[in-house]
Structure 1
Amino acid sequence: MTRLVLRRLTIAVPLVFIVSVLTFVLESLAPGDTARTILGTNYTPEGYAQLHEKLGLGDPVLVQYWHWLTDAVRGDLGVSPISGLSVGSEIVNRMGVTLSLIVGTTLVSALLGVALGVLSAVRGGRLGKAIDVFSLLGFALPNFWLGLVLITGLAVTVRLFPATGYVPLTASPSEWVASLVLPVITLALGGAAAVAKQTRDSMSDALDAEYVYVLRANGASERSLVLRHALRNAAIPVVTVVGLLFVGLLNSTVLVEGVFAMPGLGGLAVQATTQHDLPMIQGVAVTFTIVVVIVNLLVDLLYGWLNPKVRVR
């Protein structure tokens, strides 16, 4: 397992470097100008030229990237030229919102999806068809539309949960949970549908395997067959889906954070892009890449725990 972790970390370093290079180059080629964004519509050519030079926008792209990289390896992601705030501080302040939303959605999707998938594979019949209908609905319903429906029904009409906003865990645990319920449900419906579908298919294959018939003939209980043997052997593709779900939520949260007015990284990335705030875009992109690397590493570790053969690769 140690060698597995070291190999993944060895791959992660050049991956983060490549993503940072591509992000910097592509953003520098995008239409827009940081100096014009700061100055607005009314500016003089002299004032524009002075600010353009002060921000270093006249330097070659590779020189600008080198300046950013030398600071980044020391843990300094720079300062936003738009807001004047530290990029690292802004990311840290908003990271809790996005991670709370993503982790909560992943847990709800995994638990609900696995439970429904196992029930569907074991019982079959009408329950299996109901799971298929649930999966189709989960895939078909747009997240932003579902979020608006939940706000109308459970926040405005019934007033069970807050319609918008986010309360930090340190401020009030109960209000923190309440502020996450509606956005997590909004995102978890599609995720649970994907996990349920994959769990059902994997469990059906596992229950039809020869070793299951041998264990059943030797007197093993159905509970042991399902939970101890079949589910563990069916878990690897399910873990893959859950890992992909977590990574995909980094994009999906952008709309949901907007619908529920949550100050997360998704909104920060959109704002930085529209304002051509290159240091902020770089910081968010590198942060997302590191999160993806960590998630993939955890998925690989789960593979090794579920299937010992993976550890010797």
Structure 2
Amino acid sequence: MITYFAKRVGSSIVLLIVVSLLTFTLLNLTGGISVARGILGPLASDEQVQQRAEDLGLLDPFFIRFGSWLLSAVQGDLGRSWFTSESVTTVLASRLPVTLTIAVTTVLVTAVLSTVLGVAAAVYRGWVDRVVQIIAVVGFALPGFWVALVLVSTLAVGLGIFPATGYIDFTTSPAGWLSTITLPVTSLAIGSIAATAQILRGSLIDVLGSDFVRTLRAAGVPESRVLYVHALRNAAPPSLTVLSLQFIGLLGGTVIIEKVFALPGIGSVAETATATGDLPLVLGVVVLSVAIVIIVNLVIDLVNGFLNPKVRIS
């Protein structure tokens, strides 16, 4: 298990460096003078533009700039915004908790409800299975942003049960925090639950029909233990993989949801930085998002390796 963990960590570090290099390259395709002109505007003199480009290090050789940025990034310094001079690390650190709160809560809700629906459909079959499949198809077909708009117009604006916009930190008011994340999480979770429940249902049906399950039942093992200890454990890896992909998708989906509910997450930062051409901030958002994706995939790999020894061997 230690060797498996070391290999996954090593490949994750290499992947993060490669993605950082590619992103840095794409964001620096234009010349330093052009970037400095875009920052200062058309009214700035050539001398001011030249000085600005030198101050930002835009005239240095490419690999010198990337090496300097990478060395600082390893130490937790992602540079400073070209427009506000704020530390990119500080900006992202203040916004990341909101985005992660929405994404992680959505994944937890998805894991619980999709397990309940998937197990019910696989065990009871019949009309229960058909109802679950209908719910899954409908939930998967509904766009998250459309669900968000409907929830805002009905439960927030129409009935006033939940706030339409804004975010309250958990430490400030747990009840207020719950009220502000309920609608965003619901908007994102509906489609995720649908997809994950379907995968778990199919995988669990296959496992329940396998030879080792019939052997356990013939040996007199209680049905609850067969289902929740043996069958569900063997059926879990495909669902965990889908759940990890759902989480990765949620990082992109939260950008739209944050706009609908006016949440101060990294989505709004990414939008503003992209619109203004604030490359250090854009690069920080990309690298942070990739790092989160890598960490999630690493955790899922380790969990799959724990549940299925064949994964570790491969």
TM-score by length of 1: 0.93
Percent of aligned positions with the same letter in both sequences?
Answer: 45
Partner residue in 1 for 2:297: 296
Opposite residue 311 of structure 2, the aligned amino acid is V
The number of residues matched between the two structures is 313
Partner residue in 2 for 1:80: 81
Residues 115-134 of structure 1 correspond to what in structure 2 (within 5 A)?
115-134=116-135
Q: CA offset at residue 37 of structure 1?
A: 4.4
Partner residue in 2 for 1:27: 27
Partner residue in 2 for 1:93: 94
Residues 259-274 of structure 1 correspond to what in structure 2 (within 5 A)?
259-274=260-275
Partner residue in 1 for 2:308: 307
Ranked by relative contact order (alpha carbons within 8 Å, sequence separation 6 or more), the top structure is: 1
Partner residue in 1 for 2:56: 55
**Cα distance in 1 between the residues matched to 2:92 and 2:6:** 27
Partner residue in 1 for 2:242: 241
User: Quick check: 1:95–1:265 contact (8 Å CA) kept in 2?
Assistant: yes
Opposite residue 239 of structure 2, the aligned amino acid is V
C-alpha spacing 1:162/1:5, structure 2 compared with 1 (3 Å): same
Partner residue in 1 for 2:164: 163
Query: Is 1:70 the equivalent of 2:61?
Result: no
**Cα distance in 1 between the residues matched to 2:306 and 2:65:** 44
Opposite residue 23 of structure 1, the aligned amino acid is T
Between 68-77 and 79-88, report the one with greater CA deviation. 68-77
C-alpha spacing 1:30/1:176, structure 2 compared with 1 (3 Å): farther
Partner residue in 2 for 1:188: 189
User: Quick check: 1:34–1:275 contact (8 Å CA) kept in 2?
Assistant: no
Partner residue in 2 for 1:136: 137
User: Quick check: 1:104–1:184 contact (8 Å CA) kept in 2?
Assistant: yes
Q: CA offset at residue 222 of structure 1?
A: 2.7
C-alpha spacing 1:268/1:218, structure 2 compared with 1 (3 Å): same
**Where in structure 1 are there 5+ consecutive unaligned residues?**
none
Partner residue in 1 for 2:14: 14
Map Cα deviations across residues 78-133 of structure 1 (whole Å, 9 max, x no partner). Answer: 11011211001011101100110110000011111111011011111222122222
Opposite residue 69 of structure 1, the aligned amino acid is L
What SS does the aligned partner of 1:234 have?
A: helix
Partner residue in 2 for 1:286: 287
**Where in structure 2 are there 5+ consecutive unaligned residues?**
none
Between 41-50 and 284-293, report the one with greater CA deviation. 41-50
C-alpha spacing 1:271/1:104, structure 2 compared with 1 (3 Å): same
Map Cα deviations across residues 182-202 of structure 1 (whole Å, 9 max, x no partner). Answer: 000000001100110001100
Query: Is 1:114 the equivalent of 2:101?
Result: no
* RMSD, aligned α-carbons: 1.9
TM-score by length of 2: 0.93
Opposite residue 216 of structure 1, the aligned amino acid is R
**Cα distance in 1 between the residues matched to 2:268 and 2:71:** 27
Between 259-268 and 207-216, report the one with greater CA deviation. 207-216
**Cα distance in 1 between the residues matched to 2:169 and 2:299:** 26
Opposite residue 89 of structure 1, the aligned amino acid is T
Between 124-133 and 228-237, report the one with greater CA deviation. 124-133
Q: CA offset at residue 312 of structure 1?
A: 4.4
Opposite residue 91 of structure 1, the aligned amino acid is L
What SS does the aligned partner of 1:85 have?
A: coil
Partner residue in 2 for 1:211: 212
What SS does the aligned partner of 2:28 have?
A: helix
